[in-house]
Structure 1
Amino acid sequence: MPDDGMRLLTSPRVEPLLRAAVEHQGGSLLSWSLDHVDAAPEHSTTATYLARIRWPHGERTELLGVSARTGELSASDARAEIFDDGNRRVAVWLYPNDPDLVGLPTAAFPERMADALNSGGVLARPVTGAQLSLSMIGYRPRRRAVVKVVVNDPSEVFYVKVLRERLFADVLGKHTMLRDAGIPAPEVALATPEHLLVTRELPGMSLARALFEPGDPCTAEDLIGILDAMPPAVAQLERRAPWADAVGHYSRMVSATLPDAADELAWMADEISTRLARYPQGDEPTHGDFHEGQLRVTGGRIVGILDVDTIGPGRRADDLACLIGHLSTIQRMNAEQEAKVRDLLARWVPVFDRRVDPVELRLRAAAVIISLATGPYRSQEVDWRQQTLQMIRSAGALVRQVV
Structure 2
Amino acid sequence: MPADDGAALLTSEGVGGLLEAAVTHAGGTLVAWTLDHIDANPSQSTTATYSAIVDWPYGRRDELLGVSARAHGLSGSDSRAEIFADGDREVAVWLYPFDPDLPGLARAAYPTSMAAVLNAYRAVAEPITPEQLDLEMVTYRPRRRAVLRASVHGGDTFFVKVLRERLFADVSQRHKLLLDAGVPAPRIAAGTADFLLVLGQLPGRPLARAVFDPVAPCTAEGLIEVLDAMPAAVADLERRPPWADSVEHYARMVGAALPEEQERLDRLARAVRDGLAGLPPGEEPTHGDFHEGQLHVADGRIVGILDVDTIGPGRRADDLACLIAHLSTIQRMNAEQEARVHTLLRDWVPVFDERVDPVELRLRAAAVIISLATGPYRGQEPHWERETVQMLDSAEALVRQVS
**TM-score of the pair, normalised by structure 1:** 0.99
The CA deviation string for residues 334-379 of structure 1, in whole angstroms up to 9 with x for no partner, is 1011011111100100000000000000000000000000000000
Give the equivalent residue in structure 2 for 1:273: 273
Deviation at residue 214 of structure 1 after TM alignment? 2.4
Give the equivalent residue in structure 1 for 2:108: 107
Q: Trace 1:162-201 onto structure 2 (pairs within 5 A).
A: 162-201=162-201
Give the equivalent residue in structure 2 for 1:59: 60
Amino acid at match of 1:170: D
Moved over 3 A (4+): none
Supply the distance in 2 between the matched residues of 1:275 and 1:162 (Cα, whole angstroms). Answer: 38
Supply the distance in 2 between the matched residues of 1:158 and 1:15 (Cα, whole angstroms). Answer: 37
Give the equivalent residue in structure 2 for 1:261: 261
Give the equivalent residue in structure 1 for 2:368: 368
Supply the distance in 2 between the matched residues of 1:349 and 1:114 (Cα, whole angstroms). Answer: 45
Supply the distance in 1 between the matched residues of 2:82 and 2:281 (Cα, whole angstroms). Answer: 42
Amino acid at match of 1:246: S
Q: Trace 1:63-82 onto structure 2 (pairs within 5 A).
A: 63-82=64-83
The CA deviation string for residues 62-112 of structure 1, in whole angstroms up to 9 with x for no partner, is 000000111121111111000111220000000000000000011100011
Supply the distance in 2 between the matched residues of 1:341 and 1:214 (Cα, whole angstroms). Answer: 10
Supply the distance in 1 between the matched residues of 2:20 and 2:125 (Cα, whole angstroms). Answer: 47
Give the equivalent residue in structure 2 for 1:136: 137
Give the equivalent residue in structure 2 for 1:5: 6
Amino acid at match of 2:228: D
Give the equivalent residue in structure 1 for 2:90: 89
Give the equivalent residue in structure 1 for 2:239: 239
Supply the distance in 1 between the matched residues of 2:241 and 2:39 (Cα, whole angstroms). Answer: 19
Deviation at residue 238 of structure 1 after TM alignment? 0.2
Deviation at residue 159 of structure 1 after TM alignment? 0.5
Give the equivalent residue in structure 2 for 1:308: 308
Deviation at residue 121 of structure 1 after TM alignment? 1.6
Supply the distance in 2 between the matched residues of 1:259 and 1:23 (Cα, whole angstroms). Answer: 37
Give the equivalent residue in structure 2 for 1:27: 28
SS for the counterpart of 1:12 is coil
Give the equivalent residue in structure 2 for 1:119: 120
Deviation at residue 278 of structure 1 after TM alignment? 2.0
Supply the distance in 2 between the matched residues of 1:103 and 1:90 (Cα, whole angstroms). Answer: 22
SS for the counterpart of 2:197 is strand
2:117 equivalent to 1:150: no
Structure 1 unaligned segments of length 5 or more: list them: none
Question: Matched residues, percent identical?
Answer: 65
Supply the distance in 2 between the matched residues of 1:88 and 1:96 (Cα, whole angstroms). Answer: 24
Supply the distance in 1 between the matched residues of 2:28 and 2:47 (Cα, whole angstroms). Answer: 22
Supply the distance in 1 between the matched residues of 2:230 and 2:108 (Cα, whole angstroms). Answer: 31
Give the equivalent residue in structure 2 for 1:379: 379
Q: CA RMSD in A?
A: 0.7
Amino acid at match of 1:270: R
Give the equivalent residue in structure 2 for 1:400: 400
Supply the distance in 2 between the matched residues of 1:30 and 1:90 (Cα, whole angstroms). Answer: 21
Deviates more, 1:127-136 or 1:117-126: 117-126
The CA deviation string for residues 112-150 of structure 1, in whole angstroms up to 9 with x for no partner, is 101111111211211111000110110000000000011
Supply the distance in 2 between the matched residues of 1:38 and 1:86 (Cα, whole angstroms). Answer: 22
Supply the distance in 1 between the matched residues of 2:142 and 2:202 (Cα, whole angstroms). Answer: 26
Deviation at residue 172 of structure 1 after TM alignment? 0.3
Supply the distance in 2 between the matched residues of 1:379 and 1:169 (Cα, whole angstroms). Answer: 29
Deviation at residue 274 of structure 1 after TM alignment? 1.3
Deviation at residue 56 of structure 1 after TM alignment? 1.0
Supply the distance in 2 between the matched residues of 1:32 and 1:309 (Cα, whole angstroms). Answer: 34
Indicate conservation of the 8 Å contact 2:9/2:15, yes or no. yes
Indicate conservation of the 8 Å contact 2:214/2:340, yes or no. no
Structure 2 unaligned segments of length 5 or more: list them: none
Give the equivalent residue in structure 1 for 2:229: 229
Give the equivalent residue in structure 2 for 1:250: 250
Amino acid at match of 2:9: L
Amino acid at match of 1:117: L
Count of paired positions: 402
Give the equivalent residue in structure 2 for 1:203: 203
Supply the distance in 2 between the matched residues of 1:400 and 1:312 (Cα, whole angstroms). Answer: 30
Supply the distance in 1 between the matched residues of 2:221 and 2:169 (Cα, whole angstroms). Answer: 33
Supply the distance in 2 between the matched residues of 1:229 and 1:397 (Cα, whole angstroms). Answer: 32
Give the equivalent residue in structure 1 for 2:48: 47
Give the equivalent residue in structure 2 for 1:292: 292
Supply the distance in 2 between the matched residues of 1:377 and 1:201 (Cα, whole angstroms). Answer: 31
